[in-house]
Amino acid sequence: METSHHPYDSYLHMLEPALTSKAEEFAVLGYGKVKTEDLWSFLTKKKWKKHKEGIRIYELVSDILSMKVGEFMNFATVEAFKSPDWFSDIESDELQELLQVK
């Protein structure tokens, strides 16, 4: 994950419960395990691209809880295509096994 600084990063620890709740909601809807870090990335790179001075916590919580699964999945798909190596998390032995024709 990139380490760029976003003005709302200082609120992350206060917003963790809302992020966790949204990740659990996506899991209940059948979208698998979504990491809170991925939700935060979506919010800071897409939804909160233009930050607002003097924003209140309740506004950030509202943005998190009103997030649509389609918005997030579109963002995650685009980010996955931007990734330089789709198989970076897979060990080379596992990759070879997956690529074998049976």
Q: Are 43 and 79 in contact (CB under 8 A)?
A: no
In terms of residue numbers, what domain contains 56? 9-99
Residue 77 within any structural domain of the chain? yes
Cα torsion through 33, 45, 9, 20, rounded to 10: -20
Residue 3 within any structural domain of the chain? no
Give residue 1's pLDDT.
42
Number of domains in the chain: 1
Residue 63 within any structural domain of the chain? yes
pTM for the full predicted model: 0.75
Residue 51 within any structural domain of the chain? yes
Question: Greater confidence, 44 or 87?
Answer: 44
Residue 4 within any structural domain of the chain? no
Distance CA(23)–CA(18), nearest Å, equals: 9
